[in-house]
Amino acid sequence: MMWRDNGEPADTYYQIRPECDDVPKTRFKIKAGKTLSVRRWEAAFSSKGYLDIGSTLSRIQRGGVHPSIRGEVWEFLLGCFDPKSSSEERMQLRQQRRVQYAHWKEECRKLDSHVGSGTIITAPIITEYGEPIKDPLVLMQAIPSANSVGSDGAKGGKFDEHITDQKVIQWKLTLHQIGLDVLRTDRYLVFYEKQENLAKLWDILAVYAWIDIDVGYCQGMSDICSPMIMLLLDEADAFWCFERLMRRLRGNFRCTEQSVGVENQLQSLASITQVLDPKLHQHLETLGGGDYLFAFRMFMVLFRREFSFCDSLYLWEMMWALEYDPDIFSLYEEPESLNERKEGSKEKVKSIRQFGKYEQENMKNGGKSSETPLPISVFLVASVLKDKSDKLLQEARGLDDVVKILNDIAGNLDAKKACSGAMKLHKKYLKKVKFLVFVFDIRWR
């Protein structure tokens, strides 16, 4: 499909089913001279395939990414590939990753023949003790097709076998939950009318749940993974893009009986609001919302509910470009078996231009001095609260009111303005904290 940078909305790239007329329209427009176009993207590579990441980030920060190249741009933003790698090195690495994914998927298929079969299960297939469930609905789902052969050589797989391996039991217990979530994810999109696309999403999440033992699968991951399926045609490439994003977000999904995964971000949000808008913070505490749990969903699925589908993608790439750190690839370096790059082949990055603007601000104001610098998402939520501050102060008489006021923003936010507001708050916060530390030091000398 050919595109012109003519300022028109990009909704047609992510077609909405005709009967879904209540879905918010996108505000994102392809703008010549601002949006990273196909031509600009191709021109950013040298003859050997090295990417000028600085100019790329600048363009994305101004106007996002053209829909037709979004997937390949995201692979760099998320650290799948090093901008300093050549085209040949990336091709080799891509192939190695595809082989690795195929190996993991086959491993999962041997454990359960639904994986890779094109089917999705939505009912439990085993008990928590590893006993097969004999329910007719489950048995019907447990035979993907008359020709499917399980790891034991029997049609339909190991459905009568008692499982004792706790890792396998835990994984199998998540499969139906993945299925239920997949069938609810972005179903207003024409793309997901095709069973094969739903099956891709289910397979990727099933494989990820198998390889990430600590996190497994949690509700919300399907929302994070869904765009990858649409943007990258090869299932393995989509998996690795999702896996890289999960390296950033997996802490959000690690919940225990004592705490939620996003607790640190919620605490940071409370601290920021207390510094920048003490009156609002006090009001929220009075209402019993001092833990800021009302913002839980925004962090968990990266604002997928607050923006239209297209706008949420625009927001994500803006965020990733703003907080891009050139060390991201070395942090995500593959084991030697996956990446046989020559020692010392990567040059040390020195130019601040190769950092996103958010990271540049952190470097200038000491925001990176801590081991875990605050992600821009915290300031995005803080900017939403700031915009709704007057309404919250005047109308919120309980936590239900707070939730209702924040829910009303769904589909009414502008991604670029939200990022701009977050950047302003971030800068203001760093300076204010720096000043408070300075005053504190003087008083205690």
**Within a domain: residue 120?**
yes
Mean pLDDT of 217-237: 96
| Highest mean pLDDT of the ranges 21-25, 206-210, 335-339, 350-354 | 206-210
**Within a domain: residue 127?**
yes
Give the span between the Cα atoms of 237 and 228, in whole angstroms: 8
pLDDT of residue 354: 87
Residue 371: is its pLDDT beyond 70? Answer: no
Residue 442: is its pLDDT beyond 70? Answer: no
**Within a domain: residue 163?**
yes
pLDDT of residue 112: 94
Q: Give the SS3 label for residue 442.
A: helix
Mean pLDDT of 259-286: 90
Q: Percent of the chain beyond pLDDT 70? A: 81
pLDDT of residue 433: 80
pLDDT of residue 98: 98
Residue 340: is its pLDDT beyond 90? Answer: no
**Within a domain: residue 224?**
yes
Q: Percent of the chain beyond pLDDT 90? A: 62
pLDDT of residue 4: 46
pLDDT of residue 189: 95
Distances (CA, A) of 359 to 52, 205, 303, 323, 364: 18, 31, 21, 5, 9
pLDDT in tens, 39-80: 999 999 999 999 999 999 999 999 999 999 999 999 999 999
pLDDT of residue 412: 84
pLDDT in tens, 266-279: 999 999 999 999 99
Query: What is the average pLDDT value for the chain, to the nearest integer?
Result: 85
pLDDT in tens, 388-400: 999 999 999 999 9
| Residue range of the domain that includes 214 | 107-239
- Low-confidence winner among 31-40, 215-224, 357-366 (lowest mean pLDDT): 357-366
Mean pLDDT of 404-433: 90
pLDDT of residue 137: 58
160-165: which pairs have CB atoms within 8 A and are 24 or more residues apart? 160/132, 161/132, 162/130, 162/131, 162/132, 163/126, 163/130, 164/130, 165/130
CB 65 within 8 A of CB 35: yes
**Within a domain: residue 172?**
yes
Structurally, how many domains does the chain consist of? Answer: 1
Mean pLDDT of 288-305: 92
**Within a domain: residue 284?**
no
Q: What is the pTM of this model?
A: 0.87
Residue 308: is its pLDDT beyond 60? Answer: yes
**Within a domain: residue 416?**
no
DSSP states of 192-250? GGSHHHHHHHHHHHHHHHHH-TTT---TTHHHHHHHHHHH-SSHHHHHHHHHHHHHHHG
Residue 417: is its pLDDT beyond 80? Answer: yes
Residue 372: is its pLDDT beyond 70? Answer: no
329 vs 378, residue with greater confidence: 378
Distances (CA, A) of 126 to 170, 208, 249, 336: 10, 20, 29, 37
pLDDT in tens, 159-214: 557 888 899 999 999 999 999 999 999 999 999 999 999 999 999 999 999 999 88
pLDDT of residue 362: 84
pLDDT in tens, 92-135: 999 999 999 999 999 999 999 999 999 999 999 999 998 988 76
**Within a domain: residue 96?**
no
Give the span between the Cα atoms of 3 and 25, in whole angstroms: 19
DSSP states of 347-392? PPP--GGGS-HHHHHHHHHTTTSSSSPPPHHHHHHHHHHHHTHHHH
Residue 136: is its pLDDT beyond 70? Answer: no
pLDDT of residue 24: 83
pLDDT of residue 135: 63
Give the span between the Cα atoms of 79 and 81, in whole angstroms: 5
Q: CA nearest 228: which of 249, 254, 248, 246? A: 246
